[in-house]
């Protein structure tokens, strides 16, 4: 049995959940997200005393249903967190002269190329640049926030000799040693 899939998902009072023939919608103060449920998985919406819960069930014991059980529960839990709090990823730019600015909603990166790199935010994503060397990616959908942050990092990943480039805020970049200098001994 899936340990994660068996846990019930607690739904805050500000969030409304509806299941319309396989399309789950979660609506909260920050917005609304949708998830198309697989036919191998079913959900039960329960309202107890002062508390709403969602239970994820699998309809069979097939290998596919077992693998989707915990995944579906985690996706629904992430949707609830997304519509109440939202998700964010912080990126840091390291390098002399490297910086980021906002032009409207677009992110413009100056990272050592002969031209600036302009990145348009996907739907539901917003960028924030509190400092020239710090980027914050915010949104409701955890997967889209992570993908967008990965695309920004891919523009100029940290190089291994000096560490220059774009990295996640708490990412540790292991640096390589440079060329060893041979010392000639005079006899």
Question: CA-to-CA distance for 45 and 58, rounded, in angstroms?
Answer: 14
pTM of the model: 0.86
> Cα dihedral sign for 8, 69, 88, 167?
positive
In the chain the domains, ranked by start, together with CATH numbers, are 3-84 (3.90.930.12), 87-168 (3.90.930.12)
Q: State the pLDDT at residue 22.
A: 86
Contact of 165 with 156, CB cutoff 8 Å:
yes
Write out the H or E segment, with its range, that includes residue 160: none
Question: CA-to-CA distance for 108 and 38, rounded, in angstroms?
Answer: 39
Q: State the pLDDT at residue 151.
A: 97
Please count the other Cβ atoms lying within 10 Å of the Cβ belonging to residue 143. 12
Give the pLDDT confidence of 22-77 residue by residue, as tens digits.
Answer: 899 999 999 999 999 999 999 999 887 788 899 999 999 999 999 999 999 999 99
Q: State the pLDDT at residue 85.
A: 94
CA–CA–CA angle 172, 149, 154 (5° rounding): 75
Q: State the pLDDT at residue 1.
A: 60
Low-confidence ranges of the chain (pLDDT < 50): none
Q: State the pLDDT at residue 187.
A: 65
């Amino acid at each position: 049995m899936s340990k994660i899939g068996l846990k019930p998902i607690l739904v805050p009072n500000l969030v409304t959940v509806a299941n319309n023939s396989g399309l789950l919608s979660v609506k909260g103060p920050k917005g609304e997200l949708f998830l198309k449920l697989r036919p191998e998985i079913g959900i039960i919406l329960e309202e107890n005393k002062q508390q709403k819960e969602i239970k994820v069930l699998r309809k069979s014991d097939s290998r596919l249903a077992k693998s989707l059980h915990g995944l579906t529960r985690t996706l629904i839990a992430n949707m609830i967190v997304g519509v109440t709090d939202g998700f964010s990823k912080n990126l840091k730019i390291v390098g002399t002269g490297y910086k980021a600015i906002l032009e409207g909603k677009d992110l413009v990166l100056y990272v050592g190329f002969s031209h600036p790199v302009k990145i348009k935010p996907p739907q539901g994503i917003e960028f924030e640049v509190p400092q020239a060397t710090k980027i914050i990616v915010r949104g409701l959908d955890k997967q889209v926030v992570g993908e967008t942050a990965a695309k920004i990092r891919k523009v100029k990943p940290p190089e291994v000799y000096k560490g220059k480039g774009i990295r996640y805020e708490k990412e540790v970049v292991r640096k390589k040693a440079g060329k060893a200098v041979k010392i000639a001994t005079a006899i």
